[in-house]
C-alpha cells in the first residue's frame, strides 16, 4: 500500500525524463552530423570571437549579483507575508519590520562602502 502512494510521483519523474531526454536522443539518432571548422567556431553576437575567452570578471560584478539575489529574495518573502498578515496580525507585522530593518541596514552599509559603484 505504501508503494502505491509513490506511483504518481514515479510516473511524473518518468514522464519528465522522457520529455526531456527523448528529443535529445532522437536528434542524435536522426540528425546528420557534418561539423566543419566554421560550424564549431565560437560565436558571440554574430561576430567571430576576438581574444581569449578566459577574461577574468571584476569582483564587483559578483558582488552586485549577490546583492541582487539577496534583495530579490527579500521581495519574495514579502508576498507570502502580505497574504498571511491577517493571520499573523501584529506579531507578523513586527517580525517583518525587524527583517526589513536588518536588510535596510545592510543595504545602507553596502552603499556607503561603495559596493554598488562601478568605477
- Whether the model pTM is above 0.85: no
Question: Distance between CA atoms of 75 and 5, rounded to whole angstroms?
Answer: 36
pLDDT band at 56 (very low <50, low <70, confident <90, very high): confident
pLDDT at 71: 82
CATH of 2-112, one of 3.40.1160.10, 1.20.58.1610, 1.20.5.440, 3.40.50.2300: 1.20.58.1610
Q: What is the DSSP letter of 58?
A: P
Distances (CA, A) of 57 to 61, 85, 92, 94: 7, 42, 41, 40
Q: What is the pLDDT of residues 82-117, one digit of tens each?
A: 999 999 999 999 999 999 999 889 889 988 988 777
Lowest mean pLDDT among 39-48, 56-65, 66-75: 39-48
- Assess whether pLDDT exceeds 70 at residue 49: no
- Assess whether pLDDT exceeds 70 at residue 53: no
Question: Distance between CA atoms of 119 and 60, rounded to whole angstroms?
Answer: 10
Question: Distance between CA atoms of 9 and 2, rounded to whole angstroms?
Answer: 13
Question: Distance between CA atoms of 48 and 44, rounded to whole angstroms?
Answer: 6
Helices assigned H by DSSP within the chain: 2-5, 7-30, 37-40, 59-112
- Assess whether pLDDT exceeds 80 at residue 54: no
Amino acid at each position: 500500500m505504501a508503494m502505491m502512494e509513490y506511483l504518481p510521483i514515479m510516473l511524473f519523474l518518468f514522464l519528465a525524463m522522457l520529455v526531456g531526454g527523448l528529443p535529445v536522443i532522437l536528434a542524435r539518432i536522426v540528425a546528420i552530423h557534418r561539423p566543419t571548422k566554421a560550424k564549431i567556431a565560437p560565436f558571440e553576437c554574430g561576430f567571430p570571437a576576438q581574444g581569449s575567452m578566459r577574461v577574468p570578471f571584476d569582483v564587483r560584478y559578483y558582488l552586485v549579483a549577490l546583492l541582487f539575489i539577496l534583495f530579490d529574495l527579500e521581495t519574495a518573502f514579502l508576498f507570502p507575508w502580505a497574504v498571511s498578515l491577517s493571520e499573523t496580525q501584529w506579531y507578523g507585522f513586527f517580525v517583518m519590520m525587524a527583517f526589513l530593518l536588518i536588510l535596510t541596514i545592510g543595504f545602507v552599509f553596502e552603499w556607503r562602502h561603495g559596493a554598488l559603484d562601478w568605477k
